[in-house]
Amino acid sequence: MLQNNENYKSGFISIIGRPNVGKSTFLNRVIGQKIAIMSDKPQTTRNKVQGVLTLENSQMIFIDTPGIHTPKHKLGDFMLKVAKNTLREVDVIMFMVNAVEPRGKIDEYIMEMLENNETPVFLVINKIDQVHPEKLVDIIESYTKKYNFAEILPISALQGNNIEKLLETIQSYLPQGPQYYPADQVTDHPERFIISELIREKVLHLTREEIPHSIAVVIDKIKKEEDTEKDMIRVSATIVVERDSQKGIVIGKKGALLKEVGTRARKDIEMLLGTNVYLELWVKVQKDWRNKSAHLKDYGFRDDEY
């Protein structure tokens, strides 16, 4: 049953920061399921991804956002807008930074952006598994001299250090409120979106240089197969690239790379759907799609949704 009593707390928490600091890794750890894709390539996340954590006395709705960067095309403009817009109506802002990298221009840009904000901002220093604890004091100082944070929490999203403490602290900032989502709902994204993201993630993992940024994945069809013995869902998807040469790379020698993408993505999709999956992948060239509004809309980057 959906809770709505005096002792129940709920609210929205936006996670913002530079690309690659571990925002999506944090979200997935807290939710306990992969709903946002992760990679070591910057600008992995392109849309906002909402993850719901329901505890006995509270519900926290985390909003993972695209890493803030200087946009170089229309897709980048869209991503920046998505990240900024999530700040408007949340109860807590988690500004995540990477303990391993020094404070940079983008961090400063973000702190300036937060300057006239009424919402409490937490400084969350991630990847502390990578630095000596003695270094933390200097890292903290380099940020606190620029901004007055409500809370400062060093964590490791990958290994789980201090996550419980962070959740408890967030909870203490949430207002009394209703349980917005049923307890078993972990995200508001349709399966179709997560499936396309899981496929994109495998391409990110298996390619380098410009490819990760140049692809989009479109789901053409998801269909339950009726005449098979076992439960089986057939998924057809198209990987869109920007140039002919990229098509060759994504397909690989004798189709090897595309096959590997398919095998890995199928496993994740089967986990997501809890059934056998037959995955069909196609590759298509769509010149300069990242700068074309019509294509951006087709591939799920719709301005009017934000």
Residues that bind Mg ion (CB under 5 A): 23-24, 44-45
Kindly tell me which residue out of 3, 8, 19, 152 binds ligand GTP, with binding defined by CB under 6 A: 19
Most distant CA atoms of the chain, gap in Å: 65
Helix (H/G/I), strand (E/B), else coil: 282: strand
**What would the DSSP string read from start to end of 16-46?**
EESTTSSHHHHHHHHHTS--S---SSSS---
Kindly tell me which residue out of 50, 59, 126, 196 binds ligand GTP, with binding defined by CB under 6 A: 126
**Residue 37 identity:** I
Q: Which of residues 59-118 bind ligand GTP (CB under 6 A)?
A: 66-67
What is the residue whose two structure tokens read 């926290």?
60
**Residue 94 identity:** M
Please provide residue 165's backbone torsions phi and psi, each rounded to the nearest 5 degrees. -60, -40
Are 196 and 221 a contacting pair, CB within 8 Å? no
51 in contact with ligand GTP (CB under 6 A): no
162 in contact with ligand GTP (CB under 6 A): no
CB of 14 to Mg ion, least distance (A): 13
156 in contact with ligand GTP (CB under 6 A): yes
* Cα–Cα distance, 216 to 156 (Å, whole number): 30
Q: Which two tokens stand for residue 277?
A: 């999956």
**Residue 293 identity:** S
Which is nearer to ligand GTP, 3 or 130 (by Cβ)? 130
43 in contact with ligand GTP (CB under 6 A): yes
Torsion of CA 296, 297, 301, 302, to 10 degrees: 140
CB of 3 to ligand GTP, least distance (A): 30
CB of 49 to Mg ion, least distance (A): 8
**Residue with the CB atom nearest ligand GTP in the bound state:** 67
CB of 108 to Mg ion, least distance (A): 21
CB of 179 to ligand GTP, least distance (A): 27
163 in contact with ligand GTP (CB under 6 A): no
Q: What is the CA radius of gyration of the chain?
A: 20
45 in contact with ligand GTP (CB under 6 A): yes
* Cα–Cα distance, 46 to 300 (Å, whole number): 10
CB of 276 to Mg ion, least distance (A): 29
14 in contact with ligand GTP (CB under 6 A): no
Q: Which two tokens stand for residue 53?
A: 């954590």
Question: What do you get for the CA distance between the two ends of the chain, in Å?
Answer: 30
Which is nearer to ligand GTP, 38 or 258 (by Cβ)? 38
- In the complex, the residues that contact ligand GTP under the rule CB under 6 A are 19-25, 38-40, 42-45, 66-67, 126-127, 129-130, 156-158
